[in-house]
Amino acid sequence: MEKDNKKLRSTEWFGQKDKMGFVHRSWLRNQGHPDHVFDGRPVIGICNTWSDLTPCNAHLRGFAEIVKRGVYEAGGFPLEFPVMSLGETIMKPSTMMWRNLVSMDTEETIRANPLDGIVLLTGCDKTTPSTVMGACSVDLPTIVVPGGPMLNGKWRGKDVGSGVLTWQIGEGLKDGSFNPKDLFEAEACAARSAGHCMTMGTASSMASTVEALGLTLPGASAIPAVDSRKKVMAHLAGNRIVEMVKENLKLSKILTREAFENAIMANAAIGGSTNVMIHLTAIAGRIGVDLNIDDFDTVGSHIPLLANLMPAGKFLMEDFYYAGGLPVVLKELAGYLHQDAITVNGKSIGENVANAECFNREVIASIDQPIQEKAGIVVVKGNLCENGAVIKPSATDGKLLKHTGRAVVFESIEDYHARIDNPDLDIDEHCVMVLKGVGPVGYPGMPEVGNMDLPEKLLKKGVKDMVRISDGRMSGTAYGTVVLHVSPESTVGGTLALVQNGDLIELDVEKRKLSLHVSEEELARRKSLWTAPAPVADRGYASLFIKHVEQADQGCDFDFLKGGSGSQVSRDLH
């Protein structure tokens, strides 16, 4: 790629020969930097989501040092900075509530400082979309280094997948197939190395998605966190970001509409998470690409499933990497993808994967013999979800994708927990479980509770799946006939709020329909009696979130964060 000789923005700080130049440089000198780092070379910000409280990102502290090595080697000057980190398994009530806050932290830190290019160190679910969103609103040359998945979980001679095992244990504790005495042993075996969930959950899906968008070096996303080749990738990313600054290869040059379509198709082919829809929509909103919920169905739903990975399949991310990883999937999708989309290494995605080779067809199927036809996420609409809801057919056994059943309604997640295992609950396997109050505004933060555990009495009968509907999300590691992201949500007065026990609900995935069989007159009557719940917070960040978060179909970004403000600082430090 051609060099762009535009003056670097960091020289506005370090190139000054006056008092303020002294101020900008002098305090940094306390870290022992020599004169020549201020000679106009690219200054690279390494945005680190490391935290002991985010187990999936705990290894990134050391990774920053490796990226720095690469930056120095290429003639740049690296400066690492922290942003708030989001640990999926620990934070309450839901990490989704802080995704936008981290995006603001990332955006403002980048813009306010003398940085020319950015490396994002990411891992756990929200740490990828949040930092990418923030970086998009500044639009500097940026490269993502995904922290990588854990090694396969191994328990008593079997591979166990993060998240998937959690759901299995949850059900096993209820139906008696799992002994509670085994909990400690199982949990240690499920997370036996550094890295994020090693199923194709949200973290792996988002890492694969940013690779398909063109924001990582080719093949970066699937490399296990503890594999030495991950360190090589981090080093090379440090090298490359310096070149990207010289080429002025900004995010907006990579993140085109075509790149987003590629990412949607890739997420379908890997059986990726429904959460990707929300995050991709939000990222697109920041970079000014028009993307809406219907695009995921139009662009992705007909794509075949190629990756045989849990939760949709059998294997785990370590196997995926050894089989060739995402480049193989992208090569198989050649007939669908926009081959010319440019990536961070300056080459097109088609060029990057041209020589990809599959080493295990059990793990990555060919396009001619896919694991499943039409595996992408489907968007359903109807009077129960005027703005849409989503379902991931590849995470089901297909038996309930056309189903009509009697609604059993839970007014909140607390109501669900209080009654679900009551033997007197009037429910059978044909019913449709409905959960309200878990949307972006209602919870707040749209937690991953949409894949409600089935009632104990039905699990003991051997029932494995039921239709479940909510305005919440589900973990990318979960499975079942689960309709999610119902929009508008119940708390803001969506029709979901009006569903009552005994109403008939019809799901028809083939026809893209989700219908509540209640007359318009009756719905109008119920609406006239409905009152909005009181906001769950009246101060602080939660209050800001409730007032400004958009609905799931729009990506759950804040209304005031859409778009970007570029890299210009509004006023000088005086």
Under the rule (CB under 6 A), what is the footprint of ligand FES? Answer: 56, 88-89, 124-125, 162, 196-197, 201, 203
The sign of the dihedral angle between the CA atoms of 286, 290, 294, 298 is negative
Q: Which is nearer to ligand FES, 56 or 291 (CB)?
A: 56
Among residues 356, 308, 303, 296, the alpha carbon closest in space to that of 328 is found at 356
Q: Which is nearer to ligand FES, 125 or 553 (CB)?
A: 125
Concatenated DSSP letters for 336-392? TS-TT-B-TTSSBHHHHHTT---S-TTTB--TTS-SBSS-S-EEEEETTEEEEEEE-
Please say whether the beta carbons of 47 and 119 come within 8 A.
yes
Token pair listed for 371: 């694991």
Q: Over the range 200-210, which residues count as b (16 or more CB within 10 Å of their CB) and which as e?
A: bbbbbbbbbbb
Q: Which is nearer to ligand FES, 10 or 162 (CB)?
A: 162
**What is the rounded CA–CA span in Å between residue 279 and residue 277?**
6
Q: Name beta bridge partners: 160.
A: 153
Q: Which is nearer to ligand FES, 124 or 222 (CB)?
A: 124
**What is the rounded CA–CA span in Å between residue 45 and residue 445?**
29
**Smallest separation (angstroms) from ligand FES to the CB of 94:** 13
- Spell out the residues 6+ positions from residue 73 whose beta carbon is closer than 8 angstroms to its own: 235, 238, 239
**What is the rounded CA–CA span in Å between residue 424 and residue 171?**
19
Q: Which is nearer to ligand FES, 54 or 487 (CB)?
A: 54
**Smallest separation (angstroms) from ligand FES to the CB of 97:** 16
Among residues 377, 406, 417, the alpha carbon closest in space to that of 393 is found at 377
**Smallest separation (angstroms) from ligand FES to the CB of 102:** 14
Q: Which is nearer to ligand FES, 124 or 349 (CB)?
A: 124
User: Residue 448: what are its φ and ψ, rounded to 5°?
Assistant: -90, 70
**Smallest separation (angstroms) from ligand FES to the CB of 198:** 9
Q: Which is nearer to ligand FES, 58 or 496 (CB)?
A: 58
**Smallest separation (angstroms) from ligand FES to the CB of 196:** 4
* Cis amide prior to 311 (ω within 30 degrees): yes
**Smallest separation (angstroms) from ligand FES to the CB of 317:** 11
**Smallest separation (angstroms) from ligand FES to the CB of 236:** 24
Q: Which is nearer to ligand FES, 127 or 248 (CB)?
A: 127
Q: By three-state DSSP, how is residue 470 classified? A: strand
**What is the rounded CA–CA span in Å between residue 298 and residue 305?**
16
Please say whether the beta carbons of 126 and 556 come within 8 A.
no
**Smallest separation (angstroms) from ligand FES to the CB of 156:** 22
**Smallest separation (angstroms) from ligand FES to the CB of 449:** 15
**Smallest separation (angstroms) from ligand FES to the CB of 484:** 17
Q: Which is nearer to ligand FES, 127 or 554 (CB)?
A: 127
Q: Which is nearer to ligand FES, 165 or 413 (CB)?
A: 165
Please say whether the beta carbons of 16 and 3 come within 8 A.
no
**Smallest separation (angstroms) from ligand FES to the CB of 381:** 30
**Smallest separation (angstroms) from ligand FES to the CB of 242:** 30
Q: Which is nearer to ligand FES, 311 or 388 (CB)?
A: 311
The sign of the dihedral angle between the CA atoms of 229, 234, 239, 243 is positive
Q: Judge residue 215's burial from the number of C-beta atoms within 10 Å of its C-beta, 0-12 exposed, 13-18 middle, 19 or more buried.
A: buried
- Spell out the residues 6+ positions from residue 519 whose beta carbon is closer than 8 angstroms to its own: none
Q: Which is nearer to ligand FES, 201 or 219 (CB)?
A: 201
Q: By three-state DSSP, how is residue 307 classified? A: strand
Q: Name beta bridge partners: 380.
A: 389
Q: Which residue has the tokens 């959960």?
A: 435
